Amino acid sequence: MADHGKPDSRPSAQAPEEPTSVQIKPISKSAGGMTAAITAAKYAFSEMGVVRGTRALLQLNQKNGIDCPGCAWPEPDGERSHFEFCEEGAKHVADEATRKRATPEFFAKWSVADLSRQSDLWLNQQGRITHPMVLREGSSHYQAIDWKDAFALIAGELNSLPSPDEAIFYTSGRASNEAAFLYQLFVRQFGTNNLPDCSNMCHESSGTGMKEALGFGKGTVTLDDFDLCDAIFVIGQNPGTNHPRMLTTLLEAKRRGCRVVHINPLPETGTTRFKHPQEFWTWLGAGTKLADLFLQVRINGDVALLKGLMKEVLDAEERRPGEVLDHEFINRYTTGFEEFKTALRQAHVGDILDQSGIRKTQIEDAARIFIESERVIFCWAMGLTQHKNAVANIQEIVNLMMLRGQLGKPGAGLCPVRGHSNVQGDRTMGIWEQPSEDFLNKLSAEFSFQPPRVHGFDTVHAIQAMHEGSATVFFALGGNFLSATPDTEYTAEALRRCSLTVHVSTKLNRAHLITGKQALILPCLGRTEVDQQASGPQFLTTENSMAVVEAWQGQLTPASDQLMSEPAIVAGLAKAVFGNRSSVDWDGFASDYERIRSCIERVVPGFENYNARARQPGGFYLPNPIRDRKFKTEDGLAHFTIHPLPRIDLQPGEFLMMTMRSHDQFNTTIYGLDDRYRGVRNGRCVVFLNPDDIRLSGFEAGACVDLISNYEGEARIARHFTIVPYSIPRRCAATYFPEANVLVPVKHFADKSHTPASKSVVISIRAADPRE
């Protein structure tokens, strides 16, 4: 049984709640504005200092400047503002470029067990790790280790494995293209495709659904398309917190007459009203209303809602034959339409309304906007991708858009918005447990070795393999694996069963404290820092949500002279593991990243003349066949797909819970205990409930409760959560991650994509026992 807050003699896998009382305050009426500007400046200057902070922020997201380590929303192709960053971006950069340091003396003072009893906020506030650190078997404290010995320790463990498949190599979305390519090359030369990554936990469902239906797994729009569209549907996404610069794009579209529809279980301040922080003359006003229509769908009611919209489109076509459906697109570019239409007709309107929680008149209003708009863009994020039927969610959007030919024309298309700055680029570079034969063949030809062909473990199956003992070495290139993954206690036990766990990191996090028999922390350069190698200062590249590859270069002095870049770490490790067994010039790659990019040119499609094109201000676009209406499926056609209506049958006293971010965090990094956009102050262990549900359950606002999930006979408990009344559909609940990840079963994941179903967890609620 998983348990939040229960004392344990071992290092704690779950963060204790800050010793404060949660306060419920009025919700901010608009996003951005003066408050966002002041918050960004305050955080940046307190962490970096005024002069250093100003320098970093003015370089942020500029052409050939510093790439924001936050979300993957693109920058404009043309002229850019001098302040091309948002409140969250300022926090990200300040957090990385902080003047605080976690030195060997710090680790000598704090045992691993004592560190584990501190909050995630406190751990992050200790600053940049300055030296490689090792936790020896039986030791209570991390100690400094030199790089050569660290690499030798890892090499010894890897080379002693009976099979390369007993090692797991995880990747975070912060890794650059160059680091990711080098990393997958090392892993495949070692002999395994065990390359799980953070995409497995977020947009894997998007790629799986789109590739199956369209033959291509990336978004189909550019930023310029938002200047042309007539309607934007934002579904399962909270851009105000997770992608704030997107609000500027929505604001500009709204001002020219574009209509915006927001579909989400919670109303979000960012899509309600917005004040551009750089337009100081708007600070005192109410802000611009962004969403013309808000559909407050039940958690996981999206398939039902989308079916309702599509039925309205078909009904409109019957009333006005030839005027609603794009028959030319359907007949020329798609297959399966008649079967799809027949199945859709069989979906009962009553079931659609019941499962979605949306009134028929609201569905009609949304359908009217969709039908009247010549060009439509659909945007989504993890509100759609983290359900058991997540792939169906995505493919129903594709179905809807194909009805009116909203693919492959200017101002229209699909826009999965990535939550980490290079998660898409890492996949392009080959970070995937299921590589294509074409990619492996090109890798083999370039480097004269035979890559493994057997598919590896994705994230959830990697966790299970470690738990079962079939994988015993875990290496993470970035990230906070323990806190990002589901089923916290199960994952913690999986890591404890390893012989060695290794994390390439910039700052301390909880994954460093739940370890195998031995553990290493390898500190790396951040994006803000100068990367000086033997051939001179280096630049690196990333790929954003719209497939733009752009160069960036750190500008600040590194936090320590002991830091290594990620490419240099991978190269150093490869040399230690392979010795003379590899013909790859690892030293050459580490000394000059142009050599890495030259190899990428010959292995990865779309990167021809990479070094020259990367130097172009603003970078370059990768090929996108959907924009040209080329569908790389087996038959060359886009496929209508058929999905059943998901049934959400809750027993009395049960709720369907989703996890989400607060406004004071980025992924698992916690910046503070406030969420002003939802009215929460001084705490994170909260559960948002409908006021009627609170009353009918016999609770009251502010009550302390335990949350229990039951899955396949196993109970998981998150203790001492505070009830917050909120506008959320009946029988639904919302919590923050990573605090509620303990409730997400590792075996509860999306069909086909295996993305953890963190947005569809059935829970019950009971009064907390103050003695526990």
Please say whether the beta carbons of 485 and 386 come within 8 A. Answer: no
Residue 298 has what pLDDT?
98
What's the rounded Cα separation, in Å, for the pair 145 and 566? 18
Q: Which two tokens stand for residue 241?
A: 């917190």
**Residue 610 in tokens:** 């990479």
Predicted confidence (pLDDT) per residue in 316-358, tens digit: 999 999 999 999 999 999 999 999 999 999 999 999 999 999 9
User: Which residues make beta-bridge pairs with 680?
Assistant: 24, 675
Q: What is the mean pLDDT of residues 467-475?
A: 98
Strands 536-537 and 273-275, by their bridges, are: unpaired
Task: Flag the least confident range among 24-28, 304-308, 449-453.
Answer: 24-28
Enter the tokens of residue 310: 């599509």
| Per-residue pLDDT at 405 exceeds 90 | yes
The pLDDT of residue 2: 41
Is the pLDDT assigned to residue 19 strictly greater than 70? no
Half-sphere exposure of 514 (CA within 13 A, CB side): 23
Q: What is the pLDDT of residues 672-727, one digit of tens each?
A: 999 999 999 999 999 999 999 999 999 999 999 999 999 999 999 999 999 999 99
Q: Report strand pairing: 686-689 vs 732-736.
A: antiparallel
What per-residue confidence (pLDDT) applies to 41? 86
| Cα pseudo-dihedral 452, 456, 462, 468, rounded to 10 | -80
- What pLDDT, on the 0 to 100 scale, is given for residue 34? 84
Which one has a higher pLDDT value, 49 or 8? Answer: 49
Report which residue type is found at 306: L
Tokens 């990697």 sit at which residue? 462
437-447 and 593-603 helices cross at what angle (nearest 10)?
A: 130
Phi, psi angle pair for 541, to nearest 5°: -135, 155
In angstroms, the CA 186 to CA 640 distance is 39
Q: Pick the range with the lowest mean pLDDT from 72-86, 197-211, 468-482.
A: 72-86
What pTM was computed for the model? 0.96
Residue 162 has pLDDT above 90, yes or no: yes
Tokens of 193: 């495709």
Per-residue pLDDT of 280-301, as tens digits, reads 777 788 888 999 999 999 999 9
The residues that bridge with 473 in the sheet, in sequence order, are 167, 500
- Which of 40-49, 192-201, 468-477, 748-757 is predicted least confidently? 40-49
SS3 of 229-242: the string is: CCEEEEECCCHHHH
Asked whether residue 3 carries a pLDDT value surpassing 80, the answer given is: no
Sequence-distant (≥ 6) Cβ neighbours of residue 279 within 8 angstroms: none
Instruction: Classify 307 as helix, strand or coil.
Output: helix
Q: CB-based contacts of 338: which residues, under 8 Å, 6+ apart? A: none
pLDDT(737) > 50: yes
pLDDT of 5 above 50? no
Element (H, E) at 543: strand 540-543
Q: Residue 17: pLDDT band by 50, 70, 90 thresholds?
A: low
Query: What sign does the dihedral 706-710-715-718 (CA atoms) show?
Result: negative
Query: 669-670 and 680-681: which strand pairing?
Result: unpaired
pLDDT score recorded for residue 281: 74
Q: Token match 């969709």: residue?
A: 370
Q: What is the DSSP letter of 616?
A: S
Confidence tier at 1 by pLDDT (50, 70, 90): very low
**Which has more confidence, 403 or 22?**
403
Check the CA dihedral 447-449-454-456 and report its sign: negative
Query: In which band, very low, low, confident or very high, does the pLDDT at 274 lie, cut at 50, 70 and 90?
Result: confident
DSSP strands (E only) in 68-148: 101-102, 128-129, 133-135, 143-144
pLDDT at 60: 84
Q: Rounded to an integer, what distance in angstroms lies between the CA atom of residue 434 and that of residue 442?
A: 15
- CA 699, distance to chain mean position in Å, is 34
What was the pLDDT predicted at 9?
Answer: 61
Indicate whether 18 pLDDT > 60. Answer: no
pLDDT at position 403: 98
Rg of the chain taking only CA atoms, in angstroms: 25
Task: Please say whether the beta carbons of 727 and 691 come within 8 A.
Answer: no
Residue 582 CA: distances (Å) to CA of 212, 351, 473, 536, 568? 37, 60, 21, 26, 16
**pLDDT tens string 37-64:** 888 888 889 999 998 988 888 888 888 8
Please state, for a pLDDT cut of 70, what percent of the chain lies above it: 98
Q: What is d(CA 165, CA 190) in angstroms, rounded to the nearest whole number?
A: 9
β-pair type (548-552, 620-621): antiparallel
CA distance between the termini of the chain: 15
Whether residue 6 is predicted with pLDDT greater than 50 in this model: the reply is no
Beta bridge partners of 658: 734
| pLDDT, averaged across the chain | 94
Higher pLDDT, 28 or 494: 494
620 touches 608 (CB < 8 A): no
Per-residue pLDDT, 277: 81
pLDDT value at residue 4 = 40
Which range is least confidently modeled, 152-156, 172-176, 284-288?
Answer: 284-288
Q: Report, as an integer, the average pLDDT of 757-763.
A: 97
**Maximum Cα–Cα distance across the chain:** 76
Q: What is the pLDDT of residue 483?
A: 96
C-alpha dihedral sign at 171, 462, 505, 686: positive
- Provide the CA 701 distance to its chain's centre, in angstroms: 31
pLDDT of residue 421: 82
Mapped onto helix, strand or coil, the DSSP state of residue 541 is strand
Mean pLDDT of 200-213: 96
Local confidence band at 76 (pLDDT 50, 70, 90 cut-offs) = confident
Tell me how far CA of residue 254 lies from CA of 229, 292, 320, 389, 405, in angstroms: 10, 9, 29, 32, 23
- Quote the pLDDT of residue 476: 98
What pLDDT does 20 receive? 59
Q: Tell which residue, 577, 208, 575, 153, has the closest CA to residue 384.
A: 208
CB atoms within 10 A of CB 474: 28
Split at pLDDT 50, 70, 90, the class of 769 is confident
